[in-house]
Amino acid sequence: MQEGAENGETGAGREGRPRSRRRAMALAGLIVCTILLTIHEFLVPYSGGVHALSVALKVIVLAALYYLVLAYRPNPLTQKKLRRFHSIKRGYFSFVLLVFLLFLSVFGRLLVNDRAIVVKYEGKLYFPTYTAFKSGETFGEDYAYEASYRDLQKKFRAEGKGNWVWMPAVPYNEFENDYREGVRHPAPPSFRNLHYLGTDKTGRDILARLFYGFRIAMLFALVFMFFVYLIGIAIGCAMGYFGGKTDLLGQRLVEIWSNIPFLYMVIITVSLFPAGLPVSIRIGLLLAVMVLFSWTGMTYYMRTATYREKARDYSAAARLLGASTPRIIFGHILPNTISTIVTFMPFTVASAIISITALDFLGFGLPSPTPSWGELLKQGIGALHAPWIVSSAFCAMVIVLTLVTFIGEAIREAFDPKKFTVYQ
């Protein structure tokens, strides 16, 4: 027992290590699968259905999140902060609602899609949403191209032979042009045609464009925040911890880089992209350019927080005990700067949504025909005789940004270190 204590191998330590490894593996799996899911769902052009890879990645991401939530054991101080956040009802319910909307968007093909969820034909069940191309011949039609499930639903109902089609609540995808006879576009909202928010100039469903525009905007903002924080935290911690010439040189470089105008540089850089680039590469380059000119703000806060925590007694004690520099930074300093990191997350997400929407509105954002709120706002401004276009996009932006702002205010108040920590 004494030997184990001398080597730091207490019972609690030995039990805690496998748990820490499992948490680290779950977190690594979550990051990797989220990146793969981003590439598959966002960077790969829409192919008309949801493939097995997408479903598998979503299940893995949700399982990793579930495990991390169950395995997370916050310390008493963090528990107080979480209880404080829970007591701020406006921010807490905004967080729950936004998470619910994100969950719906992850499985959006079950809600907004022109492919049927389930088709029963001659005693067999088909799942077109989760499988590959199904031609009309599969369901007794006389054409070899993909079945029109809305028409198939009407036909099965008229025949009354026990065949049926279960369609999503919004039976249109975000790219589909609804050119039916007797309808001029942009068409106003119609429950009869299942265009609940109307159509745009080319006959695409507004609700479908808004729904997938929300998913793309949130996914873009979260990936943007991840890379901005990754670069900002790394450089800020390095400047604050090592100090001296590293801090001096780093501050000068950050000051120079932060004075470059963000929006103008993004517009100029995006305008230089070759017109023949694939959609996936253009989106990846746009994300890289936005991150390249946005990471500097976080470095100032992390430099200050790291410099302050480095001067604490626990950092000095860790150095005296022989702890390595990575262990001091990742095991001691970074956990005590979590308040700074978490507080700015919602506002970073909000600024990313506003930035990508502004770029889309100006024509320098996501390439056509990617659904985006900025593109809808641009359409609505050019077609004020169809007010449902601009009003739908405007209301969606206001609702989401309001939720994110309420969450940010609640987090800032709940994680305020002055409420729970006193240093003497």
What's the total number of domains in the chain?
A: 2
User: What pLDDT digit, counting tens, does each position of 211-224 carry?
Assistant: 999 988 888 898 89
DSSP letter for each residue of 147-177: --HHHHHHHHHHH-SS-EEE--SB---SS--
Same structural domain, 268 and 348: yes
Same structural domain, 223 and 356: yes
More confident residue, 265 or 41: 265
Q: How confident is the model at residue 416 (pLDDT cuts 50, 70, 90)?
A: confident
As beta bridge partners, residue 116 has none
Whole-number Cα distances in Å, 195 to 96, 169, 235, 360, 383: 28, 11, 49, 24, 18
Query: Whole-angstrom distance between the N-terminal and C-terminal Cα of the chain?
Result: 36
Same structural domain, 21 and 88: no
Q: Which residue, of 48, 73, 98, is where some domain finishes?
A: 73
Residue 127 lies in a domain: no
Listed residue (266, 296, 255, 278) closest to 364, CA to CA: 266
Residue 418 lies in a domain: yes
User: What pLDDT digit, counting tens, does each position of 42-64 carry?
Assistant: 544 444 444 555 656 666 666 66
Supply the pLDDT for residue 1. Answer: 38
Same structural domain, 11 and 54: yes
Count CB-CB contacts under 10 A for residue 358: 16
Residue 288 lies in a domain: yes
Task: Flag whether pLDDT at 260 surpasses 60.
Answer: yes
Same structural domain, 269 and 295: yes
Residue 125 lies in a domain: no
Same structural domain, 389 and 371: yes
**Domain CATH number, residue 212:** 1.10.3720.10
Q: Which residue, of 55, 73, 91, is where some domain finishes?
A: 73
Q: How confident is the model at residue 2 (pLDDT cuts 50, 70, 90)?
A: very low
CA 117, CA 165: separation in Å to the nearest integer? Answer: 8
Residue 151 lies in a domain: no
Same structural domain, 389 and 331: yes
Supply the pLDDT for residue 10. Answer: 43
User: In percent, how much of the chain has pLDDT > 90?
Assistant: 18
Q: 41 lies in which domain range?
A: 1-73
Question: Please, which residues have CB within 8 angstroms of residue 406's CB and are 6 or more apart in sequence?
Answer: 90, 91, 94
Same structural domain, 327 and 396: yes
CA 293, CA 355: separation in Å to the nearest integer? Answer: 12
Same structural domain, 218 and 347: yes
User: What pLDDT digit, counting tens, does each position of 386-415 carry?
Assistant: 899 999 999 999 999 999 999 998 988 888
Quick check: 131 and 48 in contact, CB under 8 A?
no
Same structural domain, 63 and 98: no
Same structural domain, 21 and 100: no
User: Burial level of 413, CB count in 10 A (0-12/13-18/19+)?
Assistant: middle
Residue 310 lies in a domain: yes
Same structural domain, 381 and 235: yes
Supply the pLDDT for residue 401. Answer: 94
Task: Flag whether pLDDT at 258 surpasses 90.
Answer: no
Residue 167 lies in a domain: no
Q: Which residue, of 20, 48, 73, is where some domain finishes?
A: 73
Quick check: 342 and 349 in contact, CB under 8 A?
no
What element of type H or E holds 118? strand 118-121
pTM for the structure as a whole: 0.81
Listed residue (419, 371, 75) closest to 218, CA to CA: 371
Q: If you average pLDDT over every residue of the chain, what do you get? A: 81
Which of 14-23, 127-136, 240-249 has the highest average model confidence (pLDDT)? 240-249
**Per-residue pLDDT averaged across 145-154, rounded?**
87
The length of the chain is 424
**Per-residue pLDDT averaged across 269-277, rounded?**
81
Whole-number Cα distances in Å, 8 to 12, 13, 321: 10, 7, 12
Task: Flag whether pLDDT at 73 surpasses 70.
Answer: no
Residue 297 lies in a domain: yes
Residue type, 150: R
